[in-house]
Chains A and B, each alone.
Chain A
């Protein structure tokens, strides 16, 4: 099974800050990596798919990079609506998707 880890597990940041979240896979997943944003009590929303492609409607302050086993989600200038939990998810193996444990971004 492919295991996903994320760091940090949580972070505190101020409006306008640049925020970086790292996701690592236990084996090579090429670019089959997606990023989701989830707010409390709500369904996740896909922000980025295939490691770096912005889903329609995702603000341009979000970007993704990486391939293989290490991936990064960056928010260039944190906005009030960005305070949420972010999950990565691998879709390399059709038969077994896995999510990362999440990174909670809150207000400093």
Chain B
């Protein structure tokens, strides 16, 4: 059973970069059985898919965020990361990392979530 642990700052200034990490345990981050994703949820609102990173090395992003977002994997640290540039107050949200299963196509394991507030 995969376990995901998120880390990163809870407060980011407008126009700066949001960076979050997700450490994976209980399984291999380099496994071809899994893909890695980020999802966010503004307070009181619905879930918004940010993007996924696949074993092939391909990454796919929500078109609404594509110009500002990067998801990367560091296999040596068994962690994957989210970078979101030029943030505004609209990026304030609860951010989740998640591990998906190729067989199911679903996010089977989730991080605990991290509230990131964009404010000066």
Q: A residues near B, CB below 8 A?
A: 1, 32, 34, 36, 38, 41-46, 49-50, 53, 55, 87, 89, 91, 94-102
B113 interface neighbour in A43, A55, A98, Cβ under 8 Å: A43
Classify the interface of chain A: helix, strand, loop or mixed. Answer: loop
A55 x B104 contact (CB < 8 A): yes
A94 x B63 contact (CB < 8 A): no
B39 CB → nearest A CB, Å: 8
Interface size on B, residues (CB 8 A): 24
**CB-CB nearest in chain A for B98:** A43
Classify the interface of chain B: helix, strand, loop or mixed. Answer: strand
Residues 77-120 of B, flagged 1 when their CB comes within 8 A of A and 0 if not, give: 00000000000000000001010110011111011110000000
- Can you list 5 pairs linking A and B with CB atoms under 8 Å apart? A49-B104, A55-B108, A94-B52, A94-B54, A95-B60
Contact residues, B33-66 vs A (CB, 8 A): 37, 39, 46-49, 52, 54, 60, 62-63
B110 interface neighbour in A41, A44, A99, Cβ under 8 Å: A44
